[in-house]
Amino acid sequence: MPLWAPKRQTRFGARERHHELYFDKLSAILRRDLLTAIRHRSGFVVTLVGLFTELTAFYYLSRAIGPGFRPDGVAYFPFLLVGTGLYTFFVMSAQAFLSSVQEAQQTGTLEVLMTTSTAPAELIILSSISAFAGSLTNLVVYIAAGAAIFRAAMHANFLSCLVMLFFSLAIALALGIFAATFQVAFQKGSALVWLLGSGLWLLSGATFPVQSLPGPLVTIARAIPFTYAIDGMRAALLEGRPIAEMASTVLGLALFVAILLPLAFLSLSLSLRRARQFGTLSFY
């Protein structure tokens, strides 16, 4: 059986080749996660049941509170629908990144993956994309189900929705990378996600308007990107506000993304390097 004559050096210089390789790797990862999901259907069913149960609970909560409560001038159920939908999206995305690293540590694949020709940081981000896409799908199904089954009133401006979705994705990406960084650096990613989940529930305006909070907490709420994303999405999806009228929200979100994303990439890269230096890559 002929084997091969190994090459001492290989060159993959061209930009086109780089893009081709990138999408090739992404498709391999998506295929892996799709096959795993298909062979592990119960997880999908449980998520779907959980989603509809949550939606039903919020519907009856809004009915119990009554039609008189109209935060930001909209009915409470659509308000809750968008707020909790985005809240779940942010937390699930962070959890997805975290799980991808934790599972790789526990199964022993992380160290091996780090020896492939794919850069470590690129690898973690690519590995999380499927789960990230899953949380985005959840968000869409959640809001669509709320509108179709529970008749949540919507007056969407699609361009504004797309812009808000883009910024929400970018923020969720940064958040997820921070969670992965915490896991690699301190093996405490779960604690960060838990803190994030509780903090967002209180401060992001997911379930009630942030103006109801005491002054100092309102200041904190206005200093985190999630509040802007949720407010912006509500305005775009429920009120049909055009993007030109949302300049301050868009500017605020753009600023957060410009700061958080590079910081997240840098911190992940440094934490991976540190883990390889100290031999803690597979610690969990």
Partner 1 sequence: MFNWVGRERTGETVALNNVSFAAGGGEVVALLGPNGSGKTSTLKLISTMLLADAGAVRVGGFDARREGKKVRRQVGIAVATERSFFPRLSARENLEFFAALDEVPRRERTGRVEEVLRETGLEEQAGTLAMKFSSGMYQRLGLARALVKRPAVLLLDEPTRSLDAAATVHFWVTIRRLARQNTTVFIATHNFAEAAAVASRALLLHRGELLTDRSVTAREDAARPAEIAEELRALYFRLTGEPMTSGAVAGESVIGESLIGESVTGLGAGFENAALGAKATDKIRRAGAAS
Q: Which residues bind partner 1 (CB under 8 A)?
A: 1, 3-10, 12, 21, 24-25, 27-29, 31-32, 35-36, 39-40, 107-109, 111-119, 123, 273, 276-283
Q: Find out whether 71 and 109 touch, Cβ atoms under 8 Å.
A: no
- Of 214 and 279, CB closest to partner 1: 279
3-state SS assignment for residue 123: helix
Measured CA to CA, the distance from residue 121 to residue 100 in angstroms comes to 13
Neighbours of 205 (CB within 10 A): 26
Instruction: Find the farthest-apart pair of alpha carbons in the chain and give their distance in angstroms, rounded.
Output: 79
- Of 2 and 215, CB closest to partner 1: 2
The residue among 44, 195, 182 whose CA lies nearest residue 124 is 182
Q: What minimum distance in Å lies between the beta carbon of 107 and partner 1?
A: 6
Q: What minimum distance in Å lies between the beta carbon of 131 and partner 1?
A: 14
Q: What minimum distance in Å lies between the beta carbon of 239 and partner 1?
A: 44
Q: What minimum distance in Å lies between the beta carbon of 201 and partner 1?
A: 33
End-to-end Cα, the chain, rounded Å: 42
Residue with tokens 């499927």: 130
CA distances from 28 to 31, 34, 141, 238 (A): 5, 10, 25, 38
Q: What minimum distance in Å lies between the beta carbon of 225 and partner 1?
A: 32
Measured CA to CA, the distance from residue 59 to residue 80 in angstroms comes to 9
- Of 3 and 148, CB closest to partner 1: 3
Which H or E run includes 196? helix 189-203
- Of 207 and 280, CB closest to partner 1: 280
Measured CA to CA, the distance from residue 208 to residue 83 in angstroms comes to 9
- Of 10 and 148, CB closest to partner 1: 10
Q: What minimum distance in Å lies between the beta carbon of 13 and partner 1?
A: 12
Measured CA to CA, the distance from residue 233 to residue 225 in angstroms comes to 12
Q: What minimum distance in Å lies between the beta carbon of 64 and partner 1?
A: 43
Measured CA to CA, the distance from residue 207 to residue 205 in angstroms comes to 6
Q: Which two structure tokens, joined as six digits, stand for 170?
A: 């970018």
Q: Find out whether 250 and 72 touch, Cβ atoms under 8 Å.
A: no
Q: What minimum distance in Å lies between the beta carbon of 7 and partner 1?
A: 6
Q: Find out whether 168 and 91 touch, Cβ atoms under 8 Å.
A: no
Q: Which two structure tokens, joined as six digits, stand for 171?
A: 């923020």
- Of 27 and 219, CB closest to partner 1: 27
- Of 122 and 245, CB closest to partner 1: 122
- Of 32 and 70, CB closest to partner 1: 32
